[in-house]
Amino acid sequence: MCRNITPLRQHRRTREAPGGQAGTSSRIENYLGFPNGVSGDELASRALQQARRLGAEILITRSVKRIDLKARQVEMDGGDVVKAKTLIIATGVTWRRLAIDGFDRLIGKGIYYGAARSEVGTTQGLDIHLVGAGNSAGQAALFFANHARTITLIVRGESLEKSMSQYLIEQLDGKANIEVQLRSEIHAVRGNTNLTAVEIRNSESNVIRRHESSGLFVFIGADAETKWLPEDIARDARGYVLTGDDLKKAGRWSLGRDPYLLETSAPGIFACGDVRLSPVKRVASAVGEGSMAIALVQQYLAYSGLTRRSRTLIALKRLLRSTRPPLKCV
């Protein structure tokens, strides 16, 4: 436990509902403490209540316009400014969009990105389609299988094994009302005021078939929305924020000390969750990184509070330990 550190005053800014992508997940099966699974919005709601009880100030539906790294302040829409000694970037990712004629016109009218519990009532006893081959698509298919008459999972690839966990594949196989169409993609959507049908093209035969559909849920991945960040915060080609050792590999770290595991190229600014460059994109890992980020923030603040002489002595001690010759046994 760290002592003599002023308690952190935490502000959380979110433009949409809490939970990000996790909040839109129909069912999360592998989160610790929920043996029967939990919906994304329920998990996010519980986390929100807990954060408030522990003193976090949370502002909903606010956007951040820019970050001033030198002044250590965040400028939000409306001109409000919040100053902070350190920041944690946890902005997550945004769903990729399908470029199909008429698609956007039916968003919220039978077509959805993600699958929140609020849509389950609209699918009772109906035929619906899901697009995607990842865990999110598999979890959604299993969730809707308890309500919809039929669920068709539309997959562009030749199999699910490369992109979906085996336990989900086995559960999908056990559901009689779930069908998986491989080598397929949405060609067109039909409906005036609401979705009524989808046209699916088989990439192998190039045949297009029309299917009645009362709901289309899209899970085709997501992108990091980080163009608004200052250039001093390093990102990879896809926009994911570099942290820790990745900064050194990319030549984007200039201080004498090593960066903290979740620290960005701007010292004292941290990143965690899906917005950070990492091969693991899971709710549990994002929550763990969030807890870790708070601990690293406290370490950073404690280190920053030391005098220059104290920091120099610490650096010298580390250097001496690393260059000390090994002991010889006689």
Cross-strand pairs, 120: none
72: how many CB neighbours lie within 10 A of its CB? 16
3-state helix, strand, coil in the chain (%, to 5): 30, 25, 50
Sole residue written with tokens 């539309």? 154
Query: 285 Cβ partners below 8 Å, 6+ apart?
Result: 278
pLDDT at residue 36, rounded to an integer:
84
Cα separation, 95 vs 225, in Å, equals 10
Per DSSP, 1 falls in state -
Cross-strand pairs, 248: none
Q: Which residues of 95-125 are buried (b: 16+ CB within 10 A; e: fewer)?
A: beebebeebeebeeebbbbbbbbebbeebee
Query: 296 Cβ partners below 8 Å, 6+ apart?
Result: 260, 261, 262, 263, 270
Q: Which of helix, strand or coil describes residue 270? A: strand
pLDDT by residue for the chain (330 residues), tens digit each? 232 333 344 454 455 555 666 665 656 777 888 888 887 778 888 888 988 898 888 776 678 889 999 988 999 888 889 888 899 999 888 878 888 988 888 887 889 887 656 677 778 999 999 999 999 899 999 989 999 999 999 999 999 999 999 999 999 999 999 999 999 999 999 999 999 999 999 999 999 999 999 999 999 988 888 999 999 999 999 899 999 999 999 999 999 899 999 999 999 999 999 899 987 767 778 888 989 999 999 999 988 876 556 666 666 666 666 655 555 554
Query: 272 Cβ partners below 8 Å, 6+ apart?
Result: 88, 89, 90, 262, 286, 289, 290, 292, 293
pLDDT at residue 64, rounded to an integer:
85
Token pair for residue 270? 């941290």
Cα separation, 136 vs 88, in Å, equals 26
pLDDT at residue 78, rounded to an integer:
83
pLDDT at residue 308, rounded to an integer:
57
* Position 236, amino acid: D
pLDDT at residue 278, rounded to an integer:
86
Contact present, 163 and 134 (Cβ < 8 Å): yes
pLDDT at residue 27, rounded to an integer:
67
Question: Terminal CA-to-CA distance of the chain, rounded, Å?
Answer: 40
Cα separation, 39 vs 156, in Å, equals 27
Cross-strand pairs, 11: 57
Cα separation, 225 vs 93, in Å, equals 6
Token pair for residue 79? 């001109």
Sole residue written with tokens 């980080």? 226
